[in-house]
Structure 1
Amino acid sequence: MTDSANVSAFLRPIDAGGSGEWGGKFPYNDIISLLDVNRPFNLAESTSQDLTFGELLDLPGLENIRNLKLGYGKSAGSAELREEVGAANGISPDWVLTTQGTALGLFLLAIEVCRPGDETVLATPCFPPSRDCLLGAGVTVHEAKLSFESGYRVDLDAIGALLTPKTKLVSIASPQNPSGVQMSRGEAKELLALLDEQAPNAYLFIDETYREATYGDAAPLESFAGLDPRIVTGASVSKALGAPGLRTGWLTVADRDLRDRLTVAKMNIVISGSVLDETLAAALLRNREGVLAARRSLLADGLEELAAWCSSEKDRIEWVEPDAGALCCLRLRATSFDDAAVARFWNSLPQHDLQLAPGSWFGESDHAFRLGFGYLPPARLGPALKALSSAMDTASK
């Protein structure tokens, strides 16, 4: 988001020709600004702190990486990485297809399982590419809107109301982005039962990117990968493990026919993954417990500090406490902030060196925003939250 941007618009109507209309096949979303803007108090990012290349090279198993030949990779992904993904998810490595991030995996799934006239159901609010890659694939998308008031818990009635025999794909994240709220195994089974009744030819995609980003000693929920053959899961090394720059993710696909079709689709779009990135990602997964332990400790401390701040600001702020992930949803209370005050709040962020992810990016209102509490070094989280209080002071004047 540029400092002068008006965050109230979900789609920014611009194009190179200056006609005032966005002409791209993929909808424009200002979340793309996170790749270009990084203010000192960046509470917009949803990742843990970034690993360095040196930290990766220090992991066991990479001593001979200088001898790695930089040829084409395997179409399904490196055997080493698929072994590690399989072990991490309790499934056969044969089920694993590597992708350049989870979003590409969902795009491949959409263009392969959906044909003209088919439909998808998407639980929102969501990470914008999770919606926009479906639209870019030419798929009809029906949104099952989850609410702040219900803590963003899965609304099976809302999803069920949108299912039809034309539904070929249902997409949900667990933990969700932007809220960090998880779906239970029981809810997933109920959702599969709805598919049996109303959309028997549909697959259920579950984005598990944040699954292992738990707090302190809390164990992550078991992956949904082995629960049912209709479930396709996606994840990556980007969030919990702090290596988004590797651009390495994967799908787990039990259905062999679908897996073969997705592999051909991947080959036609990107040919293969980077052998260097996949080698580094495999080493990261092989050593993930040590990497995750340190990060989980930092996330637990960050969440505790955030919870204390939310309590101190309870007259102006409400929040949904996350189940996992380095992120959560907060909302400016309507009793303290009218629409004009909300606009002043967003316009004041640059002067406080502050960066937040507005709810409008994800399909929420401008009163809401995603806050990341794992990206900043611990010593800067407190000052960033203090700056957030100051921004609310400015908006209230």
Structure 2
Amino acid sequence: MNAFQQSVDEARRSGSGSENTRAWHGRFPYNEIISLLDVDRPFNLAESTSQDLTVGELLDLPGLERIRDLKLGYGKSAGAGALREAIAEVCKVPAEQIVTTQGAALGLFLLAFEVCRPGDEAVLATPCFPPGRDGLLGAGARVREVRLSFDNGYRLDLDQLEANLTPNTKLVSIASPQNPGGVQTFRVEIEKLLGLLEKRSAQALLFVDETYREATYGDAAVIDSFAALDARIVTGASVSKALGAPGLRTGWLTVADAQLRARLTVAKMNTVISGSVLDEALAAALLRNREGVLAPRRRLLGDAIEQLATWCKREQKRVEWVRPDAGALCCVRLRRDAFDDLAVARFWDLLPRYELQLACGTWFGESDRVFRLGFGYLPAARFGAALAALSSALDAATA
């Protein structure tokens, strides 16, 4: 057990009152997804990124020939000019509309912290990346969850969204493609959602997390960013997932409203001051050369998803899946006619024996019958072996 987990367990034991109170007292809810930062088993199917870039691969990119001359002073609060220009090209908006953040999750937290006051509500489509929910709670928003359905392919439920919109709604948060499902929202759905906001929540902003947007498969087309579609839309993304550089901790928001942009810049100044000038210089070079970096990753993702589709078909009597539109991730569910509740519990207990790592659905707001399976992180040669190990774990759980 690592020191962090030991401190978590001690905090849980020291509480009093209800089980939830005993479990945790933090401003941010505790979520087991934090274990992904400390555990990395050989068959890691829990990660949702493409394969990690190395520093050497980054330094070989054009535009970094004078990186040794970079002075390690403070950066600009809104973000380095070269990085904002590179992001603007990706999102097709003016560079002045960009505010860089330490990952998209911090961007959403700062956005919620600024636009939501006591009593204000945020409507959130779930399942979702845990910081996407817990950051809203940590910022003090009252969160109304709209639970999307595995059986409906995690498509956006506009009727449910409309039912949860009120005059107190200040923020609606969705992801496209979603994490954990990899399901995209299309322009016609966004336009309908904006119409609902105008009718029921006139002051609300729509946040769209586009972190996986460019992680397509093979030669599949990339959907344009929603950043330029409407001034009420704030998008967030980063270099973490599709580009394989989560260690740079560099993300951004696109914000059309100048006053809100200024408030977010002040909020960033008062929390992290600025981004790392080194990280932002590397991220700018990565974005300027992104097509060369993305192309081989898209081929690997295209091959991997077909391999996964074959495995899911072979295992269709025991599992079912929602095939993703983009991203290095998808949701798989243990079938009820093959796994009773005890078998589900055995399945999770058996994973370490098979050197497997999966992301449990409960982390994202789903049941423990569902798991997020990442198919872009492992090298191609190991991915097939990981799926074989997963089949062995299924065998053992139902034996």
TM-score normalised by length of structure 2: 0.96
The CA distance in 2 between the partners of 1:303 and 1:264, in whole Å, is 42
The CA distance in 2 between the partners of 1:217 and 1:367, in whole Å, is 33
Give CA deviations for 1:109-137 in whole Å, capped at 9, x if unaligned: 00100111100000000000000001111
Which amino acid counterpart does residue 120 of structure 1 have in structure 2? A
- Counterpart of 2:224 in structure 1 is 222
1:343 to 342, 345, 360: 345
- Counterpart of 1:42 in structure 2 is 44
Displacement after TM superposition at 1:13 (Å):
7.3
The CA distance in 1 between the partners of 2:25 and 2:205, in whole Å, is 31
SS of the aligned residue for 1:143 comes to strand
2:334 to 328, 332, 335: 332
The CA distance in 2 between the partners of 1:395 and 1:21, in whole Å, is 28
Which amino acid counterpart does residue 181 of structure 1 have in structure 2? V
Displacement after TM superposition at 1:23 (Å):
1.0
SS of the aligned residue for 1:141 comes to strand
Deviates more, 1:15-24 or 1:258-267: 15-24
SS of the aligned residue for 2:144 comes to strand
SS of the aligned residue for 1:269 comes to coil
- Counterpart of 1:9 in structure 2 is none
The CA distance in 1 between the partners of 2:140 and 2:11, in whole Å, is 20
- Counterpart of 1:380 in structure 2 is 382
The CA distance in 2 between the partners of 1:16 and 1:175, in whole Å, is 34
Displacement after TM superposition at 1:16 (Å):
7.0
- Counterpart of 1:8 in structure 2 is none
The CA distance in 2 between the partners of 1:246 and 1:75, in whole Å, is 17
- Counterpart of 1:209 in structure 2 is 211
The CA distance in 1 between the partners of 2:396 and 2:350, in whole Å, is 7
Give CA deviations for 1:211-270 in whole Å, capped at 9, x if unaligned: 000000112100000000000000000000000000000000011111011111110111
Q: How do 1:241-390 and structure 2 match up within 5 A?
A: 241-390=243-392
SS of the aligned residue for 1:161 comes to helix
Uncovered stretches (5+) of structure 1, i.e. residues with no partner:
6-11
Is the contact made by 1:13 and 1:22 (CA closer than 8 Å) also made in structure 2? no
Q: How do 1:34-113 and structure 2 match up within 5 A?
A: 34-113=36-115
Which amino acid counterpart does residue 286 of structure 2 have in structure 1? L
Which amino acid counterpart does residue 251 of structure 2 have in structure 1? G
Is the contact made by 1:213 and 1:292 (CA closer than 8 Å) also made in structure 2? yes
Which amino acid counterpart does residue 266 of structure 2 have in structure 1? V
The CA distance in 2 between the partners of 1:166 and 1:256, in whole Å, is 23
How many residues are matched?
Answer: 389
Give CA deviations for 1:301-350 in whole Å, capped at 9, x if unaligned: 00010000000000001000000000000000000001000000000000
Is the contact made by 2:13 and 2:23 (CA closer than 8 Å) also made in structure 1? no
Is the contact made by 1:316 and 1:333 (CA closer than 8 Å) also made in structure 2? yes
Which amino acid counterpart does residue 64 of structure 1 have in structure 2? R
1:131 to 124, 130, 133: 133
The CA distance in 2 between the partners of 1:248 and 1:16, in whole Å, is 33
Is the contact made by 1:14 and 1:21 (CA closer than 8 Å) also made in structure 2? no
- Counterpart of 2:19 in structure 1 is none
The CA distance in 2 between the partners of 1:21 and 1:358, in whole Å, is 18
Identity %, equivalent residues: 70
SS of the aligned residue for 2:114 comes to helix
The CA distance in 2 between the partners of 1:289 and 1:219, in whole Å, is 13
Give CA deviations for 1:272-304 in whole Å, capped at 9, x if unaligned: 000000000000000000000010000000001
Is the contact made by 2:12 and 2:23 (CA closer than 8 Å) also made in structure 1? no
SS of the aligned residue for 1:15 comes to helix
Displacement after TM superposition at 1:361 (Å):
0.4
Is the contact made by 1:51 and 1:243 (CA closer than 8 Å) also made in structure 2? yes
SS of the aligned residue for 1:172 comes to strand
Displacement after TM superposition at 1:21 (Å):
3.1
1:33 to 35, 58, 73: 35
Which amino acid counterpart does residue 397 of structure 2 have in structure 1? A
Is the contact made by 2:51 and 2:244 (CA closer than 8 Å) also made in structure 1? yes
Uncovered stretches (5+) of structure 2, i.e. residues with no partner:
16-21
The CA distance in 1 between the partners of 2:137 and 2:11, in whole Å, is 19
The CA distance in 1 between the partners of 2:395 and 2:352, in whole Å, is 14
The CA distance in 1 between the partners of 2:80 and 2:311, in whole Å, is 45
Is the contact made by 1:14 and 1:22 (CA closer than 8 Å) also made in structure 2? no
Give CA deviations for 1:34-65 in whole Å, capped at 9, x if unaligned: 00000000000000000000000000000100
